[in-house]
Amino acid sequence: MNSVKRISIAFALSILSALGSGCGEHETNVPATKLTASVITSQADTSTHTHSVTIPFTDVSASPASDVYQYRSDVSNGHSHVIALSKQQVIDVNNGLRLVLDSSTPSAGTSHKHTWNVQGGDVLYEKNCYNCHSNDKRGRSPMNVSFNASQTSAVISPSGAPTSISQAATPDPAYSSSTAVVNLDGPSLYAANCSATSCHGSLANSTKLNKSYSQIKAAIGNIGQMASLGSLTDAQLQAIAAALVK
């Protein structure tokens, strides 16, 4: 009988240990400032300067709403650059793959380009885990998050994930984020941001049918898992609410 008790206790302890080993379980170290995007820094060129771009979590999806996503970098050394991701490359990032991207030529100064290495595993961690655990769970097996095998492996080892071989998009040197078209299609916004198995399911069978804009807005401010929707505009949230009316 004693041996049975010892085995039972050991099993229980192993379960508790596993529950504490990855992202996705209860919140353990909520950051003071939550993320709504990943910041990716370029490799340095011959003059040793670098640039950073911001990729909103709302763009990273298994079903992207746009054919091309472009991002203008910060200004460094007196100029900026643009990088572009094709729809398939966004899907690849969502699956944890790595991207190697060349930028546009600079907005000013001597012609040159930079290379960006986007690690999908890091983006997935920041989108799904950081706002509950800060960096405490990086490199660990995610739990209670509906990742496929590729995503899980990438979160554990972002630099070890395969490199995407999808055709790259061509960045437009004149691209300005202020002229970007804002997606106001409620069903596609819901599919990109709310429909994951770990969230609310497909639109037709959503667990949040008939939720109002005000309720969605309040949830974003109070529920950690919804912080990634903070980058959506009020108009986009209203479009999602309209799509939920049945």
Question: 21 pLDDT exceeds 50?
Answer: no
Same domain, 160 and 187: no
Residue 20 CB partners (closer than 8 Å, separation 6+): none
Same domain, 45 and 159: yes
Same domain, 54 and 126: yes
Instruction: State residue 2's pLDDT score.
Output: 53
How many residues make up the chain in this entry? 246
Same domain, 188 and 173: no
DSSP string, 158-177: GGGSPBP-SPPPPP-TT--G
Same domain, 39 and 151: yes
Number of structural domains the chain divides into:
2
Distance CA 197, CA 149 (A): 15
Same domain, 3 and 122: yes
* Average pLDDT score, the chain: 84
Contact 191, 94 (CB under 8 A): no
Same domain, 30 and 130: yes
Instruction: State residue 231's pLDDT score.
Output: 75
| Higher-scoring residue by pLDDT: 92, 65 | 92
pLDDT tens digits along 227-244? 777 777 888 888 899 999
Q: Burial level of 2, CB count in 10 A (0-12/13-18/19+)?
A: exposed
Same domain, 123 and 148: yes
What is the biggest distance separating any 2 CA atoms in the chain, rounded to whole angstroms? 79
Q: What percent of the chain has pLDDT over 90?
A: 46
Task: Name the domain boundary from 178, 195, 215.
Answer: 178
Instruction: State both tokens at 136.
Output: 């405490």
Same domain, 122 and 59: yes
Q: What is the arithmetic mean of pLDDT over 160-189?
A: 85
Instruction: State residue 144's pLDDT score.
Output: 77
Instruction: State residue 37's pLDDT score.
Output: 92
pLDDT tens digits along 141-174? 887 788 999 999 999 999 999 999 999 999 999 9
Instruction: State residue 151's pLDDT score.
Output: 95
Same domain, 189 and 174: no
Task: Name the domain boundary from 149, 178, 207.
Answer: 178
Same domain, 48 and 1: yes
Residue 16 CB partners (closer than 8 Å, separation 6+): none
Instruction: State residue 4's pLDDT score.
Output: 47
Q: What is the arithmetic mean of pLDDT over 196-204?
A: 80
Cα-based distances in Å from 154 to 5, 62, 140 = 38, 15, 10
Task: Name the domain boundary from 144, 178, 212.
Answer: 178
Q: What is the arithmetic mean of pLDDT over 15-31?
A: 59
Same domain, 42 and 117: yes
Distance CA 64, CA 189 (A): 9
Which structural domain range is residue 226 located in?
182-246
Question: 47 pLDDT exceeds 60?
Answer: yes
